[in-house]
Amino acid sequence: MDNNHNTVLETKNLNIYYGDFLAIKDVNFKVFRHQITAIIGPSGCGKSTLLRSFNRMNELVPSARSEGKILFNGEDIYDPSIDPVEVRRRIGMVFQKPNPFPKSIYENIAWGLKINGFRGSKSELDDLVEQALRGAALWDEVKDKLDQSGLSLSGGQQQRLCIARAIAIKPEVILMDEPASALDPIATLKIEDLMRELKENYTIVIVTHNMQEAARVSDYTAMMMLTGDEERSGTVIEFDQTNVIFTRPKDKRTEDYITGRFG
Amino acid sequence: MTTTIHSLNPQNHLKRDRERKIVRALTFIFALVSVGTTAGIIYELLKETVLFFQEVSIIEFFTDTRWTPLFASKRFGVLPLVNGTLLVAAGAMLVAVPLGLLAAIFLSEYASERMRKVLKPILEVLAGIPTVVYGYFALLFITPILRDLFPETQIFNAASASIAMGFMILPLMASVSEDALSAVPRSLREASYALGATKFETAVQVVLPAALSGVAAAFILAVSRAIGETMIVAIAAGQQPKLTLNPLQSIETMTAYIVQVSLGDTPHQSIAYKTIFAVGMLLFAMTLVMNIISYFITKRFREKYE
Amino acid sequence: MSTLTALKDVTFERNLSFRKLKGKIFEILAFFAILLGIAMLLTLLVDVFLDGLPWLSTRLFTEFPSRFPEKAGLRSALQGSIWLMFLTALMAIPVGVGAGIYLEEFAPQNRITRFIEINVANLAGVPSIIYGLLGLGLFVRQLGLGRTLIAGAMTMALLVLPIIIVTTREAIRAVPNSIRQAALAIGATDWEVSRDHVLVYSAPAILTGVILAMSRAIGETAPLITIGALTYIAFDPKGPFDIFTVLPIQIFNWVSLPQPAFHGLAAAGIIILLIVLLSMNALAIWLRNRLTIHW
Ligand SMILES: Nc1ncnc2c1ncn2[C@@H]1O[C@H](COP(=O)(O)OP(=O)(O)OP(=O)(O)O)[C@@H](O)[C@H]1O
Ligand SMILES: [Mg+2]
């Protein structure tokens, strides 16, 4: 499966600890360019931990510590010479709960561009903001109220604003941690449609608890489970194309988990 | 499309990183100012105190019963000042502790949310009034009343300062105790109610004992505040260092002595100049010990309920 | 069964109403404790107003202190207070807010940080007169600044620093972590997060704390007496290196004089001081209610 696509992200024997607690253990998997990769698994198996390690957000937890490598375009993002700030600019993130800044809709998007060194004119900035909002399928809904607070939007709109904010700085990868779990079904469908569109230009990694969602939107799926002696550390037990995982999983535990959910 | 991390806009990045480092260093230095302040206090107090004890024996300082450094026949027994300080503080506690504790219990156990919203800011105003105003009130309002009630009361006396100080400290006592009472988990109250206890029994026999260490911390903090209070005693309590337990008499506290000397024109090298640092050192040590005890009691108390 | 009911009737029920009565009495007593505090506050205010009102006039703002009560004013004291507050704020606000940001946003969790935190907590409890001794020894003598405004302001800045640090930290803590994460995730540095988000959203609350800290400073007397601020100044302070007096010191001076006329002047000075303080408090409350972001 490696042959068809080129690899953007790759973990090599990744271990992540919180203090002495080994949260995820020996994870090896790949994220392919312009594909949607879903990470699924039971609660507490380390999905968020793994996702947050891709843009080095996890190291903001004071007790967190990692071993192994994560390669981004072949380069180890945990190399001491690399600044996490640059990693995060290349690898964006959308959170579980929408978290727009309490600034105007316009500023929500423009701020990321400004801090990341945008030096163009005001009209260029306007264009980039519009592009991002269009990219997140939000433009038509907010074009007349760009100076209103981001907090004044509905939950689903807020989440799309957060996606717009992430894509405005043109990252290569967008990480999404249960981006639709706080939203109603219609808003959820909008976000899923959006992901399919974004796939043209971006690589997406999504954590989800919703099996249908994983089956609907993703191209690849990584199944995580707690393993080890006391079953406390999570790891990726199976990684394959989504249709393979959902139709003929190789691992019995994957099958149990998926069929359990499907009922 | 396959840009590597390093190839990105390195100029911008370097500038931002430099700004970040400068700000971090600067704010770290700002945070260190507090350490510098403590060090400065200890250094300045210690320096003059050491000079003071080169002239006066430490034994005299702590055992002599007379304090007359400004007179011709100089005696350097700090006990009268300590006595005055503790006398006024004890009187203030007599006012602040019962009232503050009752207020705290009312606020945390009885008052509705709306009542609390009204009452607490009023108490805060009480705490925000400058101490020089309390001094005025003690000397010109409380003292005349005391002299009506007890004709032997002196114009300057410990009692009026105590009463004014008690009300000044009441809000501190009340708010720190209330924090402690509110920190007691609801489940404990519910357990008490489930046994058929009334609100009063729950508050006094269950919640208060559970919050006792927090209340103790409030008490120590209040004592420390009373000992360090200056303007009320400087205005109302007098300038006569003496070993007495009679609150109707004029006394002098450690803080009032420092003010008394500061108001005069004291030459730098004089023994009087050094005495205020020696007295200040003792005052600092006393409040420091109390603050530390209170800090650790509060910390232990918080850990218990978090 | 019947004995149990009887027992309940006889011993428990009657008892309960008595217990409830005790509780009611206690509640009234507790409420009375608060009322007493409020009554004291009102008495104090009424007493000061009655004493001071006859002496309140524009003369207080235009005249220097004098031996004659009819001619005495607060001009130099008011100007001294304004100068002192300005210089104190200039030093204390950046340092205090900066230290608050450092401790809340940048500081690693290590021994140095814990040491600084304990230090700040302890400084908040040091009696104000001790700061006066520090100012006297360090600023007035050692740095040779003399009994000047700048020496007073430096002393006062150190005094209010812990208050500003603590309130800044509380204000910053109210900004939800999700905002920091969002900003970091688009490639911001921790300083950019603080500068453009945390500080912006917590600014009203920080300002509230700063105003309260300054209102503490405006009423402080003891440390300034200790560093040797004078009680009699008959000229307008022109700059940071002038000697000075302030409002509460002038009040203290007048209270200390035996003539009742000066007590009236003191009360008038207190009225002005309290009006300034209450306005500052009202401003702080207004800021807190109006501008605070509700997450
Ligand atoms: N900040 C932290 N400090 C300590 N332990 C943590 C922290 N965050 C997560 N953990 C632990 O690491 C393990 C994995 O957590 P993680 O949040 O990655 O799971 P998850 O698969 O995302 O779960 P969920 O589906 O519920 O979101 C859990 O045991 C959790 O308790
Ligand atoms: Mg998760």
Do C45 and C64 have their domain in common? no
Assess whether C230 and C175 both reside in one domain.
yes
CA distance C237 to C241: 9
Predicted pLDDT at A222: 95
Give the best residue of A32, A76, A86, A202 to mutate against chain B (max B CB count within 10 A): A86
Minimal Cβ distance to A90: which of B5, B12, B17: B5
The model's confidence at residue B80, banded by pLDDT at 50, 70 and 90, is very high
In the block, residue with structure tokens 């309960």 = C16
Q: Is the pLDDT of residue C6 over 80?
A: no
What's the pLDDT tens digit per position in C51-94? 999 999 988 888 888 888 888 889 999 999 999 999 999 999 99
For a substitution probing ligand 1, which of A45, A175, A210 has the most ligand atoms within 8 Å of its CB?
A45
Query: Does residue A3 surpass a pLDDT of 60?
Result: no
Domain boundary among C28, C55, C82: C55
The CA–CA distances, whole Å, from B176 to A36, B225, C160, C170, C288 equal 55, 13, 20, 17, 22
**Is 50 exceeded by the pLDDT of residue B3?**
no
Distance CA C269, CA C258 (A): 17
Q: What b/e readout covers B269-294, taking b as 16+ CB neighbours within 10 angstroms?
A: eebebbbbbbbbbbbbebbbebbbeb
Residue A5 has what pLDDT?
66
Say which residue the tokens 């509705």 belong to.
B112
**Per-residue confidence band for B5, with pLDDT thresholds at 50, 70 and 90:** very low
Chain C nearest-CA distance from A54, in A, is 11
What's the one-letter identity of residue B36?
A: G
Q: Do C99 and B30 touch (CB under 8 A)?
A: yes
CA distance B246 to chain C (A): 23
- Span of A180-194, A234-248, C152-166, C173-187 with lowest mean pLDDT: A180-194
Spell out which residues of chain C touch residue B294, defining contact as CB-CB under 8 Å.
125
Neighbours of ion ligand 2 (CB under 5 A): A 48
C71 and C162 together in one domain: yes
Residue A263 lies in a domain: no
Nearest CA to CA, how far is C98 from chain B (Å)?
5
Ligand nearest to the CA of A176: 2
CB contact under 8 A, B262 and C102: no
Atom of ligand 1 nearest to the CA of A224: 21
**What single letter denotes the amino acid at residue B18?**
R
Is residue C223 domain-shared with residue C112, that is, in the same domain? yes
A153-162, C14-23, C231-240, C248-257: segment of lowest average pLDDT: C14-23
Rg of the Cα atoms in chain A:
19
> Chains that contact B by 3+ CB pairs under 8 Å?
A, C
pLDDT band at B7 (very low <50, low <70, confident <90, very high): very low
Chain A partners within 8 Å of B8 (Cβ): 86, 89-90
Write the pLDDT tens digit of every residue in B155-202.
999 999 999 999 999 999 999 999 999 999 988 998 998 888 888 999
Residues C41 and C86 in one domain: no
- Asked if residue C231 and residue C163 are part of one domain, the reply reads yes
Q: In the predicted model, is pLDDT for residue A120 greater than 50?
A: yes
What residues in B contact C95, CB-CB < 8 Å?
Answer: 30, 33
**B9 Cβ under 8 Å from any chain A Cβ:** yes
- Spatial distance between the Cα atoms of A92 and A9, rounded to a whole number of angstroms: 13
In a domain, A1, yes or no: no
**Testing the interface with C: which of B155, B230, B233, B253 to mutate, by most C Cβ within 10 A?**
B230
pLDDT of the residue at B74: 87
Which range of residues forms the domain containing residue C161? 59-291
Q: Which ligand does the CA of A25 lie closest to? A: 1
Domain contains A116: yes
Distance from the Cα of A192 to chain B's closest Cα (Å) equals: 25
Domain extent for A226: 7-258
pLDDT in tens, C154-200: 999 999 999 999 999 999 999 999 999 999 999 999 999 999 999 99
Counting one residue from chain B and one from chain C, the pairs whose CB atoms sit within 8 A come to 271
With an 8 Å Cβ cutoff, are C127 and B276 in contact?
A: no
- Beta-carbon separation of A101 and C109 below 8 A: no
Cα distance between residue C45 and residue A107, in whole Å: 49
* Residue B33 pLDDT exceeds 60: yes
- The alpha carbon of A167 and the centre of ligand 2 are apart by a number of angstroms equal to 22
Q: Is the pLDDT of residue A61 over 60?
A: yes
Judged against a pLDDT cut of 90, whether residue B10 lies above it is answered with no
Taking the C-alpha atoms of residue C212 and residue C233, their distance in angstroms, rounded to an integer, is: 28
B79-305: CATH topology: MetI-like fold (1.10.3720)
Contact C192 A115 (CB under 8 A): yes
For residue C149, the domain's CATH number is 1.10.3720.10
C251 and C283 in a single domain? The answer is: yes
Tokens of residue A151, six digits: 């907090």
C-alpha of residue C93 to centroid of ligand 2, in Å = 40
**Half-sphere exposure of C9 toward its Cβ, with a 13 Å CA cutoff?**
6
- Are residues C252 and C142 part of one domain? yes
Which of C39, C55, C71 corresponds to the end of one domain? C55
The pLDDT tens digits of the residues spanning C263-282 come to 999 999 999 999 999 999 88
Q: Are residues C208 and C100 in the same domain?
A: yes
Q: How far is CA B68 from CA B17, B239, B255, B265, C168, in A?
A: 62, 11, 15, 17, 45
- Reported ipTM: 0.92
- Same domain, yes or no: C9 and C67: no
pLDDT-derived band at A1, boundaries 50, 70, 90: very low
CATH of the domain at A69: 3.40.50.300
Give the pLDDT band (50/70/90) at residue B260. Answer: very high
Chain centroid to CA C216: 2
CB contact under 8 A, C127 and B287: yes
Question: Distance between CA atoms of B20 and C102, rounded to whole angstroms?
Answer: 12
Same domain, C185 and C78: yes
CB-closest option in C187, C196, C295 to A88: C187
- State the pLDDT confidence band at C19, using cuts at 50, 70 and 90: confident
* Residue in A with minimal Cα distance to C293: A102
Number of domains in chain A: 1
Question: Separation of A46 CA from ligand 1 center, angstroms?
Answer: 6
| Contacts B40 to C, Cβ<8 Å | 134, 138
Q: Which of B89, B167, B162, B166 is nearest to B122 (CA)?
A: B167
Same-domain check for residues C6 and C83: no
**CA closest to A53 among chain C residues:** C185
Considering only CB atoms, A112 lies closest to which of C176, C181, C186, namely: C186
User: Cβ contact (<8 Å) for C192 and A97?
Assistant: no
Average pLDDT, rounded, for chain B: 91
Chain B contacts of C117, Cβ < 8 Å?
none
Q: Which ligand is nearest to the CA of A222?
A: 1
For the stretch C204-246, pLDDT in tens is 999 999 999 999 999 999 999 999 887 778 888 889 999 999 9
Nearest to B44 among C138, C189, C195 (CB): C138
Best C130, C189, C227, C263 residue to mutate vs chain B (most B CBs within 10 Å) = C130
What are residue C207's phi and psi, to 5 degrees?
-60, -40
Cα angle value A236/A237/A238 (rounded, 5°) = 95
pLDDT at A82 over 70: yes
Mutate to test the pocket of ligand 1, among A17, A48, A52 (most ligand atoms within 8 A of CB): A48
Mean pLDDT over residues B123-130, rounded? Answer: 90
Q: Look-up: residue for tokens 């060194």?
A: A117
Q: How many folded domains does chain C comprise?
A: 2
Task: List all residues whose CB is within 6 A of at least one atom of ligand 1.
Answer: A 18, 23, 43-49, 61, 63
Confidence check: pLDDT of B2 > 50 = no
What was the pLDDT predicted at B8? 43
Domain boundaries, chain B: 2-55, 79-305
Q: Which of A16, A17, A21, A39 is the best mutation target for the ligand 1 pocket, counting ligand atoms within 8 Å of the beta carbon and taking the most?
A: A21
From chain B, pick out residues whose CB is under 8 angstroms from the CB of A116: 9, 12
Mean pLDDT of all residues belonging to chain C: 91
Q: Report which of residues C3 and A112 the model is more confident about.
A: A112
Q: Is B299 on the interface with C (CB under 8 A)?
A: no
- Does residue C9 have a pLDDT over 80? no
To the nearest whole Å, the CA of A144 is away from the closest chain C CA by: 24
DSSP class of residue C67 equals S
Residue C286 has pLDDT above 90, yes or no: no
The token pair that represents A206 in the structure block: 């999504």
Atom of ligand 1 nearest to the CA of A21: 5
Q: How far is the CA of A82 from the centre of ligand 1 (A)?
A: 26
pLDDT value for A229: 67
Residue A16: pLDDT over 50: yes
